[in-house]
Structure 1
Amino acid sequence: MKFALYCSYLHEKPYQYSMPPLGLGSIGAWVKNNCWFCEVAFFRQEQKLIDWKPDVVGISSATENFSAAVAFAGDIKNALGIPVWIGGTHITALPHTLPDCFDVGILGEGELTVAELIKIHYKSKNPVQRLADVAGICYHGEKGVVINPPRDLIPDIDILPFPDRKMLGEDWAVPLSEEAHIITSRGCPYDCTFCSAPVHWRKKVRFFSPEYVIREIEHIRADFNPNEIFFFDDLFIGNLPRFKKICALMKERNLHRDILFRTYARVDLIDEEVADLLADLNFHYVDFGFEANTQPILDYYNKKNATPEKNQRAIDLLAAKNISIGANVIIGAPHETREQMEQTRAFIERNKEKLHRCSMGPLQAPPGTRVWDYAKSRGLVSDDMDWTRYIVDVEHLDMSRDPYLCETMPVEEFTAFYEEFYRLATEINLRGKVHKMGVDLQRSRARERAMRAELDALKGSRLVRLAARLKRK
């Protein structure tokens, strides 16, 4: 049996294929370990997947790519006539909308569900009749879409193998030799109104043990030797005792030597001790979801314990340690005024010399979130809308097409303000690129010096001198 995995993405958006989809890598690794009869492969090119002639295809898709996923599923059906399954945040939030081109929707955590479905497909002459017994899926029944009871989340995620990065390949915008990423938890301990993580992970958070994380870091360094490792959790430092244990183990095993780390953080978790740990363990890049710098909008986003004062304190603490800081900002909340947006922009402007990255955009309404419910109540979104409207071109914003949520400003005024803010973000990002080039150059020179020292040491060793004499003879 052959099972193909594919991540729906937009070819014209390079950021979408900057790094491999570790979720599919984890599913692939689990299936390989638990379905001996199944050959698993991941594809980025649609035609190569079809040419492989799999028995089943599993596609993962976010909302902005869902229309592309539907189109490709139709192509697979026309070419091969095989079952196509869909997973990811979008179908998990809207299982009742399962399109006809998909046989099954996999809701939430996928490893156990996919393995069970593969075994059913392999053993059963009529797999469709067995779907009613599979927890955590939706499928087409006689009277419409059937949504089965949810599957229990894996209680101890340490049972999972490392994501199969070799299966995912190295044909990514950011090569694995430059930056590899790692996800050391599932879910987030917070519940922001605009975030789909609580929907996907059912408002629960689970952590890989510190020992598991250390083993995976060692695995990544041994197999790929990247310049940087990006901790891509929703919030890597969300469990501070665990974070400190991971740091202690990294230091004990010298895993922080000759490498840089990057992670996301929250302003309310940053103090002198955490800042010292981040600096000491070479977490050179730290990014914050500030979102806003006015208390009413932070409260609207349910950014618990976040305040404008803590935003500033987090920047000051990390900047003092020469840590490269990134800022993520959202504008256009329903009742956010221009004055409040100006205050957030002024906060970024004041700190632009301390920031090296700035990502900003209009508030969106991911399905299943409270912002989605609000947007739906106003008729701005719907279950059968054109999902390509979620593709936001941050360089050329078109709020006449994108769902526009802000009630306090005309679209034209908002767009003009956005463009002004975006120029500031662009300035910060350009400065950040120059900074990173300098960091990379310093590290390259340090490696060169180390290699020359090693070479000089070898030239003076007895074994090298003996080999040279033998070669002359």
Structure 2
Amino acid sequence: MAKLLIYLVNPQVPRSRDEEKKGLYPPLGLLYIATVLKERGYEVKIYELNVESSNKLIHDVQREQPDVVGITVHTVSFPIVKSLIKELRQSSPSTTIVCGGPHATLCPEDFINIADIVVRGEGEEVARDLPNLLHAIKELKTRAMKTTLVVQGASPNIDELPIPDRALLNTSYYGENIGVLVTSRGCPFNCLFCCVRYLFSRAYRARSPMKVLQEVLYLVDRFNVHRVKFVDDEFTVVRSRVREICQLLKEYGVGVTWSLPNGIRVDTVDERLLRDMSEAGCDLVWFGIESGSERVLKYIRKGIDLEKARGVIKIAKDYGIRVGGFFMIGAPGETLDEFKKIIDLIPKLDLDYIHFSIATPYPNTEFWNWVQVHGRFITLDYQYFEKTFIFETPDYTIRDRLRAVELLERELGYYELSDDVKIIEELLTRT
């Protein structure tokens, strides 16, 4: 087979105010796949549509007629991707369209007769088998006018994956976030509201401390990175591994500061680990606390102790680590009165930062099924997911949720969700 030309696309994803403040993260999932494809000898180009115009992509597709266009798809970006694929088809009918990412994993049925190939789960092993897949879809197309091949990606040994080649990116798009990296996949916990287990399973797979060090050194040497962000779904599951990473960072005199912006559990750290992290350059940790109600925490299977959370936060701050807390509005089983407990709790935690997200059920997940049993959806339009309240329950109506936002503004001065109030008011007039 001749050398393949492959475009990989990170589509535009609507972002919240807090996400805008954090800046754009490099698309590490795409980058892992791009690096695997490059090792196979294919020509690979990455398009970052959160910065670049889709017109450039369409123009290049029309001019170069790539063999494959691969697109990572989040639920909230699916409407945008659907329109984009129509334009791609018009520009190059012979190009094979491959979709992967969270929404492709959760809802492959949404891509039938839209994409040629849908990849569920992790994509590296699928990328290695790309020639066979292209042959298979070609055979299928000879028998039917429209068809879509759905493929389940195997979970790779992530310690054997290459370091993602950031040279494939326009690094100027990401600023200091070029120092973002992932050291593990999967989460062994089973929170009702979370969909990570559907994407990577509950089997926790971690890269060895030495491999983590090698990637940090690569970032320092190649891109002059001074700050690293570990964006694992749960970085501190295995404390001994984290301690070894800390020891290596100190032994090699790497000299970077680092943070855990995706959040970790308060019950996966202790004083010894926080001390080691601080000594190795960690200066910011976010904890997933989610609720101020012990009953709700038990109901959603978060299973943390709020008194322990207070103690862990104090220890982290004593070691000079700034601390942020993640919370939700609308957790399964929550009521407005129980949400008010968050308002009472936050001043006692002495957090440096807080972030509130809107509890969002995704299709074909346990949380989605829970809403169908215990409440009702206000909208199923993907463009509103994560941005506003898409469901309510008899015990926690949309009006109650709007009052919760007002409480955040009045009691805590938190205005990051204010725009969402306007969106839901518009939706309510349609129901």
User: Which TM-score bucket, shorter chain as reference?
Assistant: 0.7 to 0.9
Deviations 1:297-327 (A, max 9, x none): 11122113x1111221121111222211111
Is contact 1:355–1:428 with CA below 8 Å preserved after alignment?
no
Counterpart in the other structure of 1:48: 56
Is contact 1:356–1:428 with CA below 8 Å preserved after alignment?
no
Is contact 1:335–1:407 with CA below 8 Å preserved after alignment?
no
C-alpha separation in 2, matches of 1:128 and 1:227: 47
Which residue, out of 74, 82, 90, partners 1:70? 82
How much has 1:22 moved relative to structure 2?
0.5
- Cα RMSD (Å) of the superposition? 2.7
How much has 1:361 moved relative to structure 2?
2.6
Write out aligned runs for 1:10-409 (5 A).
Answer: 10=13, 15=19, 18-34=24-40, 36=41, 38-44=42-48, 45=52, 46-53=54-61, 54-81=66-93, 82-118=95-131, 120-121=133-134, 124=135, 127-129=137-139, 147=150, 150-154=152-156, 156-172=157-173, 174-176=174-176, 180-255=179-254, 257-263=255-261, 264-304=263-303, 306-351=304-349, 354-377=350-373, 380=376, 385-392=380-387, 402-409=389-396
Deviations 1:307-352 (A, max 9, x none): 111221121111222211111101223432222111112111333x
Q: 1:120 to 1:338 in 2, by over 3 A?
A: closer
Write out aligned runs for 1:434-449 (5 A).
Answer: none
* TM-score after normalising by structure 2: 0.85
C-alpha separation in 1, matches of 2:137 and 2:412: 52
Q: 1:423 to 1:119 in 2, by over 3 A?
A: farther
How much has 1:197 moved relative to structure 2?
0.9
Is contact 1:97–1:145 with CA below 8 Å preserved after alignment?
no
Number of positions where the alignment pairs a residue of Structure 1 with one of Structure 2 = 399
SS of the equivalent of 1:52 reads helix
Amino acid at match of 2:330: G
Is contact 1:287–1:326 with CA below 8 Å preserved after alignment?
yes
C-alpha separation in 2, matches of 1:220 and 1:425: 38
Is contact 2:78–2:382 with CA below 8 Å preserved after alignment?
yes
How much has 1:231 moved relative to structure 2?
0.3
Is contact 1:360–1:422 with CA below 8 Å preserved after alignment?
no
Give 5+ residue unaligned stretches, structure 2. Answer: 417-431
Q: 1:100 to 1:308 in 2, by over 3 A?
A: same
Is contact 1:96–1:145 with CA below 8 Å preserved after alignment?
no
Q: 1:379 to 1:355 in 2, by over 3 A?
A: closer
C-alpha separation in 2, matches of 1:160 and 1:239: 20
Give 5+ residue unaligned stretches, structure 1. Answer: 132-139, 430-473
Amino acid at match of 2:382: W
C-alpha separation in 1, matches of 2:369 and 2:279: 43
Is contact 1:32–1:39 with CA below 8 Å preserved after alignment?
yes
How much has 1:8 moved relative to structure 2?
2.0
Q: 1:422 to 1:169 in 2, by over 3 A?
A: farther
How much has 1:414 moved relative to structure 2?
2.1
Q: 1:182 to 1:428 in 2, by over 3 A?
A: farther
Q: 1:95 to 1:378 in 2, by over 3 A?
A: farther
Q: 1:119 to 1:168 in 2, by over 3 A?
A: farther
Deviations 1:385-420 (A, max 9, x none): 42112140xxxx5xxxx3123431332232022132
C-alpha separation in 2, matches of 1:144 and 1:375: 32
SS of the equivalent of 2:392 reads coil
* TM-score after normalising by structure 1: 0.78
From the CA coordinates, give the structure whose radius of gyration is larger: 1
C-alpha separation in 1, matches of 2:187 and 2:298: 18
Deviations 1:221-276 (A, max 9, x none): 11112231100000111111111111111111112x25343453211122211121
